[in-house]
Chains A and B, each alone.
Chain A
Amino acid sequence: MPSTIAILGNPNVGKTSIFNALTGLNQSTANYAGVTIDRKFGRVNCDGATGTLVDLPGAYSLAARSPDELIVADVLLGQRADEDRIDGMLIIVDASNLERNLYFVSQLLEMEIPAVVALNMIDVAKRRGIKVDADKLSEALGLPVVPVCGNTAKGIDTLKLRFAKLLRGEVPAAEVKFRYPGPETRAIGELEAELAQHRDKIGRDVPRIEAVRLLVDEGGETELRVTKLLDGGFPTRLKAIREHAINDGVPAAVQEANARYGWAHSVIDACVTRPPKRIRTRSEKIDDVVTHRIWGTLIFAAVMLFIFQSIYAWAVPAMDLIDGVVGMSAEWAAAYLPEGMLQSLVVDGLIAGVGSVVIFLPQILLLSLFIAILEDCGYMARAAFLLDRLLSWCGLSGQSFIPMLTSFACAIPGLLATRTIQNRRDRLVTMLVAPLMSCSARLPVYIIMIAAFVPARPILGGLLGTQAVTLFCMYLLGVVVAAPVAWILKKTLLRGPQPPFLLEMPSYKTPRAATVFIKVYREGREFLVRAGTLIFAVTIVVWALAYFPHPESVLEKYEGLRTAAANEIADTAALDERIAEIDNLEAGELLRGSVLGRIGHVVEPVFRPLGWDWRIATAAIASFPAREIIVATLGTLFNLGADEDEESPGLRETLRNATWPDGTPLFTLPVALSIMVFFALCAQCGATLMVMKRETKQWRWPIIAFTYMTTLAYIGAFLAYQIGTAVLS
């Protein structure tokens, strides 16, 4: 019979390394419906026994304050349709910090199902002079206890043997070791009777553990869920039962904590020897520097600069390589496929679409690598500690900083980095504002507009130039807009009680290569598979809009011109030049006549207040799947050929010479500013929106992000153009 075992423990107890040690690369992820966390599971084969190991998020308690936190209890109690019934538990505890770990263990024992305890981090405990007697602990818990050291794999073989027994059903069930005080026990009984009466409305039996959570967690997730199902009188009755649980003026929550920690203390007394005086740990000595007022801030700045620089610059060779391979495949396909719709679909649609996704892979892998290392060694908590005050001004916490900074390179890894944020509302707000940071794909737009239309003048006696300052302002714009947007989101859409910022500062440890590798590998694979398929579809749609109707008459006209040129011009180089010119004119006319080009004409009045003509509007619309498309599209639209990049002087000159039908210059400084502001604020990145959907499991959030960013972009561009024009005239 196949067994499903859940792996459980507090955060930072080394759950991941033990999960990896037991499953290897044999792991997958899926979705839990309705929550932001992934369902991570792996196939295990230990000593001939097979089964599934489900990795549940680290928790300090079964008390749930958000749908995400409810997952642990729900899976354990067999109340999720998307998860098999749990047959047993592998509980990981930290030997160096056993007392707090036992609080959660005392709740898990109440599941009364078979369990094995892995006593992890025995090496760290030893360094601190803490000795845990595993046999006595096993006796106190009534469960098998295996001392292990997840980082060096010491004890893992013994754990595997025990785990095999758990899989085979040869481990006895855990027993409740802890009794609630009298009044609370009676109140639980009352509540159970009340719930049994309304069994038909709830639709199932409510297990005792859930009844306890309903009683103790005032305003918690269990209460919200049950109250929704029952009649309006239930909250009053619940309140009355809660009154009964009060013992000597002490509410149930305090009683629970006192009783569980009391039990934990008695277990500690029986099996742990601690040094009389606390030994100052290595971590504390490191933190004297790393979280120091001055040194800590400098180290943080250096770490961020290093990461930023690496994503920004070091990913470039790999990205160029991918770009080259994509370009070669496009050429190859163009050479082998007959000219026509199929060739265009493969070259401009399929290959360009895949290329636009794969190009982000080096950045994602590099960033995943840094995040995995920083997380695994314990630095993330320090960064949040250092930065918390700054971000609390716009209603967020220190944990939002790294995702925001990362988004300056690319919003996609930025969104992935929000996974370290515990509070769901904070995480959503961070995801919604992260795409406002100027990512590297905006740089080409800034460069071409600034180089062509911002006059280079020295500022501050030549220390700075107008062009550099303009570029800096574009980067600043995202931050300046993000702060009030986050603040407003926290006050409106994602309003709720300010979550307590209670973060454990884990001990530093050497990152484990296997843990880091598996994380990076998973990020890369998931990005390619999930975001890839979706952005790919969007790219095909835009390709189709830009291709059809593709009238024969236009093709024949230009074919005639090419034949004529071949007859007239003898010189090969001159002929090639003329043919290229004709090709560009043809591409331009086809795009003008395409559905996309017509849309551009139709919407031109909408973009007129921004100072844009139909060509700029078309280019901006075509850039919604990926903003860097604008450079190539502008090239095509202004009849220069699609192979333009931001460095090319040709495009710069053409843009400078472009005019309105009446002959006045199209691009002026206010128009250039309006385009830049639009691109700075607009959600023109299909991949980002798809990843946002994937991470939040809801379409709602990418739609909200898209709507508010596009609105802000329009308003911003409008203001830039109108104010700019007013000031200059």
Chain B
Amino acid sequence: MANEQELVDSVEYISASEEALFARGLDGQLIRATDATLDDLDLDVQISIDGNPFAVKKAVPMRNSQGVILANDRGEIIPRPTTIYDAVNQLYVKALGDVNPIPILCHREHLQPVGVCRVCLVEIEERRASGRVKKDLVSSCTYLVKEGMIITTSASQDQPKTVDLIKNSVGIIVELLASEHLTRQDLDEVRNGLNKHDPNELKRLVAEYGKGDKIPRYEPSLLAGNRGQDLSSEIISVNHDACILCQRCTRACNDIKQNDVMAREGKGYDARIAFDTDLPMLESSCVSCGECVISCPTDALTFRTSVVEKQGKKILEQTRKSSGKDGTVVTAEEMLEIPIFSGIPYKFLQFNGGACVRRVLRPGESLCTVGEYGSTAYLIQSGKFEIVVGAKPQNQSRASVSKRPGFFQRALGLTSRSKRVPSLATGSDSGMPGMPGMPVTKEKLYRGVEDVILGEMACLNRQRRSATVVAVEDSEVIEIGTNVLYMLQRNATSRNVLNEAYRRHALNSDIERLPIFKELTPAGRAEAARIIAKDAELMSVEPGQAIFKQGEKSDDIYLIRLGYIKVSRKHGTREQIVSYVGPGAVDGASGAFGEIAALSSIYGSELKVDFDQLDYLPGVRTSTCSALDHVELVRIKSSQLKQIADANPDFKQKLLNRARSLLKKDTERESELSTGKSNFVNQGLYNAQSLLVLDLESCTRCDECTKACADSHGGETRLVREGMRFENFLVATSCRSCTDPYCLVGCPVNSIFREGSKEIVIEDHCIGCGQCATNCPYGNITMVGHQEGFRGEGNMQIPLIQQKATTCDQCKSIGGTPRCVYACPHDAAFRMTGDELEEAVLSRKPS
């Protein structure tokens, strides 16, 4: 019977006024629904963890599963309250190999916490409003930190009794789960010692926290072992008996992949995971992406052995083929021994067997070449590498490499006359990498084991490689695919390592080459790069997010490293797009924007006359800039720019002149706004490197393009003669080789990539999950079925159709000349960039 004080505490604990801050979860438990505020991001909360005084922020930025900080429409960071688990993580996990002492089962950093398993117990001491100090065991993944809270984890040295209490409690929980969901064989394994890399997290927890010889201490329910299996899927096996209902699979399916297939069904002991409306997995809308399997902490969801074997073979074949180099495959067990991979699920590494390859390089051997696209990064194991930024070997033009002579050329011996000029018809490019207008430097940098990783930039930003990497001594690397990098990003520690390396590489490689500094002397450029690299912020902006808004007061200047931004201005309630800009393409090819406000705030007196004439208020943004796609910016404070400009009077004068001309141009723009730009930007054409454009005035709708495509690709067309129209041009549904291809994001098996040149390639180990097709906003990826064996049902053999994503690779796989253009008899089909289309449209428009 609770005494009076406890009743007061319990009322205060979830008082009536607080009730609104809570909601009941599916299982009837109270879950927190407290919204954090932006101020909480800066507000310190003093707590004590295992006797160590520690200050944490009341809230942390909300991140998506890849660790990207989320922002709202106003560009403000979305905060979420700091949990005890976050705080303990901050205290204990600082470098690779550090471990959070709190055990977890239903929780993972990249998932929304739900607190269903209660394994992450810690003891807290907090002072209630009544003044009484109350101790409690709480789940750390959902419980929020409060001022003065004293937290004791199982790692505490000073509180052995509390540690025992926590461990006992965790032991009871995991043994109860084990009694219900582990098989006899599993329990024998636990008793006899587990394999170090056993993927079953419950077994590992039981081994660690279980008590005594008789594990588990509890009897299972009558339903244990009778919940059944779902073996309908060809890819995934479902064992309901092993399912602990931790909801990791449902959160992975619904929150991460947004497939919305899985949910919990039933109540009490009967509760289990279900697909759609409790259909067998095969008949549901499951896309077999495997996200649920790699999220499952038990053996409830596993890949079928035959699938793992088949997939491993395909990936290995592909890895060897695409790299053209020898290497030894790194097994999942070997990978998990490397600290940075320790957070990656075993099942993921197992399913992607063959994707990680160990390579040994001799001095002079190159790892990657500037200007080429790449889908792999290299973890440095030993040795030293020379990084040649910006320089591209003369003899490695992709255009000349990919140009395969035609029948007549070969027959007539005209093979040596291959053109290197960009061609409208073939869409081939001359392939110079990096930012337009950037001076190419031959600066040499060196990287070694301390730099952890190389080549990650091309994988993460999906752009061309910005440097050539050559081994200068005997070296060893592990080549990993983009999908492995994505998995590394889910874990804060490995993400920090990656981000640090990325920031260092990005700032070192690009700043000096930014077009805005091209007027400076080489020494001046180096000094400018030094000043900026010291304090500049590398920003990543998600599509649609505002960078700054019209009318705001701010004085930062932004340099675009990657992606495109939209410059718009409000006229009454209507927003009008003024222009779109990419790296090096900002007015006057400076590669920078936001200069007017920045320069006006630091050189207000020099520019006063001009401002007065144009009725401009110094330091105020004249337009809104927002990201059109994944944008990376270098934010420079105006004081840094002033420091550079003051040391270079000529540069300063040029900046001032530029500010005047930009301001004048801005004022003139008011009268020349049109809607043409909006359509162009809204349809994403700025992003296109190779549109299939049909001139509808010449096109006779003979479908020769489609037929040629189908004939050349095994009867499956990769283009559809339908799409958006611009004047008399039709942009057909066919891959446009976007500068920032959304389709490459999130492939679980890294089967879609760009290797070398701009064309998107989908390899045979595609598992047909449709992620790339969903990501492509232009519908240019289609799912096509290929028969892969049979399934025996009684005496019937039912054909198995494996879906695979298919997209136009501009006939790269069959010689490089797009057959659609080649086969058009009426010269109505073209491959062109978005800018070329805009030019063609404008030339046709009546003035």
Q: Do A and B bind each other?
A: no
